Structure 1
Amino acid sequence: MDPTTIVWMALLMGLAAALYSAVGHGGASAYLAIMALFSVAPETMRPTALALNLIVSGFAAWRYFRGGQFNSGLFLAFAVTAVPMAFLGGRVQLPPEIYRPLVGAVLWLAAIRFLWQPARLAERTVRPPRLVIVLPTGAGLGFLAGLTGTGGGIFLSPLILLFRWEEPRRTSGVAAAFIFVNSAAGLAGNVTAVEAMPAALPWFAASVAAGALAGTWLGMEKLPRPQLLQALGLVLTIAGAKLIFS
């Protein structure tokens, strides 16, 4: 990569990290889109996105945990089955023609709900889920996370909020931790691809770290709950577009 390309990619990744970390996400889908835009080799894209996900989601999880915006029981219930399945998903190589448009359409449907009457959605009463639902759901989300090269939070957050399992800000904390463990497992499952990471990775890492610092501050302290849901709707719209049109 030439220096100009590296600078533009780093700036775009930093902006993506700020937006995604505001809702507890790592931004892998955005990093994949940015790398595709600049014609990065496919074998480089997934491990690079997962590595950047680790930085952003790890920092976001720590910030939300320190701020008391975390539900450890809900996180563990999803993570216990998701992590091994993310490892398996990271080892699978499938043609994207079928699953990517379907997943993108699902994200768009969720985005519509978050952008429409977010105040009403934010005020609903929370009800804890049953393990018989959470455990298989976590397994499915983990496998999908490893398969797509994302941390799975882009799928987890809508489920938690739509089924009223937690309120928006604590959902962001759970999603950030979920993304971190799944990204680590997915990267471990595809460990041979680590050798394909770009030499410019330190620059990308510094940019997304700065973006995560700004984004988590915005998500934890500045955005009211309805606006937090609208931000999540925007993130889902972008991620869905990336999956459908890439």
Structure 2
Amino acid sequence: MPTAILSVLFFLSALLYSSVGHGGASGYLAVMGIVGVEPAMMKPTALCLNILVSAIAFWRFYSGKNFSWQIFLPLAVTAVPMAFIGGMTHLPSYFYKPIVGAVLVFSALYSFKSAKVLTADHSLKPVSKWLLAVVGSILGLLSGLTGVGGGVFLSPILLFSNWASPKVVAGIASAFILVNSMSGLLGLLMTGGKLPFELPIWLAVALVGGFVGATYGSKRLADPMLNKLLAVVLLIAGVKMLGIFEYMANYFW
């Protein structure tokens, strides 16, 4: 496993994602997919890095008063148990890779779209706690199954529905990712999941990247151009995980 290459890429992912309150799981999954890490190691690695970086992001955004307990609690109450169930579920490679690929493609589209939303004005709307609970349960299960924290889905829902401002969305997303990732990792470990030997190195670089990114993002919104560049990486990784490159190669050659 190319530890040095992954260390650099994990640092950059943590830096970029933490600036918008995310733990970076879709970024970690993307680079691992591109490098060719085996699926059995992708999920636990992404969850561990997610926990560390989202905790830093939550601390920075919460300290800056960019958070809403009224929105977060209904989401978390249903998301945490569903993330645990998802973490206990070990999908075979031929199921896991397409699902993660679809998540990465969605993440790419969201990154393109959010580059515009970050600079837009928002007229906030109230939201039902029951609706938030339903959203939380669905995203929690998806989080545990794939190793993402769910923030890449929660953020566009909150933003595009105008339920919270961009910075508050970042604070809520960081807390949501944190509790989901902890629950998902617990479920994974209880069913025999293994952690990679190189994990301490990757945690160290993610710690630095997450701290710098979260400190920057909690004070000012992320650069829209970074979101667009990130979207390109996610799209390439998603297409690779979906096997589209292999299909095209076989079809044309």
Q: Once structures 1 and 2 are overlaid, which stretch shifts more, 232-241 or 29-38?
A: 232-241
Q: CA RMSD in A?
A: 2.3
Match of 1:242 in 2: 237
**Residues 229/168 of structure 1: CA separation in 2 closer, same or farther (3 Å cut):** farther
Q: Once structures 1 and 2 are overlaid, which stretch shifts more, 17-26 or 193-202?
A: 193-202
Q: Quick check: 2:150–2:180 contact (8 Å CA) kept in 1?
A: yes
Q: What is the CA distance between 1:71 and its match in structure 2? A: 0.8
Q: Quick check: 2:112–2:231 contact (8 Å CA) kept in 1?
A: no
Q: Give TM-score scaled by structure 1 length.
A: 0.86
Q: Secondary structure at the match of 1:190?
A: helix
Q: Match for 1:203 among 201, 204, 216?
A: 201
Match of 1:129 in 2: 127
Separation of aligned partners in 1, 2:99 and 2:3: 30
Q: What is the CA distance between 1:30 and its match in structure 2? A: 1.5
5+ residue gaps, structure 2, are 242-253
Q: Which amino acid aligns with 1:62?
A: W
Match of 1:58 in 2: 55
Q: Which amino acid aligns with 1:57?
A: S
Match of 2:76 in 1: 79
Q: Quick check: 1:23–1:231 contact (8 Å CA) kept in 2?
A: no
Separation of aligned partners in 2, 1:13 and 1:233: 18
Separation of aligned partners in 1, 2:55 and 2:131: 26
Q: Secondary structure at the match of 1:196?
A: coil
Q: What is the CA distance between 1:202 and its match in structure 2? A: 1.1
Q: What is the CA distance between 1:43 and its match in structure 2? A: 1.3
Q: Secondary structure at the match of 2:197?
A: coil
Separation of aligned partners in 2, 1:236 and 1:172: 18
Q: Match for 1:28 among 20, 25, 28?
A: 25
> Which runs of structure 2 are paired with 1:1-246 in the superposition (5 Å)?
1=1, 5-94=2-91, 95-96=95-96, 99-116=99-116, 118-119=118-119, 122-192=120-190, 196-223=194-221, 227=222, 231=226, 235=230, 238-246=233-241
Alignment size in residue pairs: 238
5+ residue gaps, structure 1, are none
Q: What is the CA distance between 1:218 and its match in structure 2? A: 1.6
Q: Quick check: 2:116–2:224 contact (8 Å CA) kept in 1?
A: no
Q: Secondary structure at the match of 2:155?
A: helix
Superposed CA offset, 1:92-136 (max 9, x none):
2331365445444544443443234653xx312111211221111
Q: Quick check: 2:33–2:237 contact (8 Å CA) kept in 1?
A: no
Q: Quick check: 2:118–2:166 contact (8 Å CA) kept in 1?
A: no
Aligned-residue sequence identity (percent) comes to 38
Q: Which amino acid aligns with 2:238?
A: L
Separation of aligned partners in 1, 2:3 and 2:77: 37
**Residues 239/130 of structure 1: CA separation in 2 closer, same or farther (3 Å cut):** farther
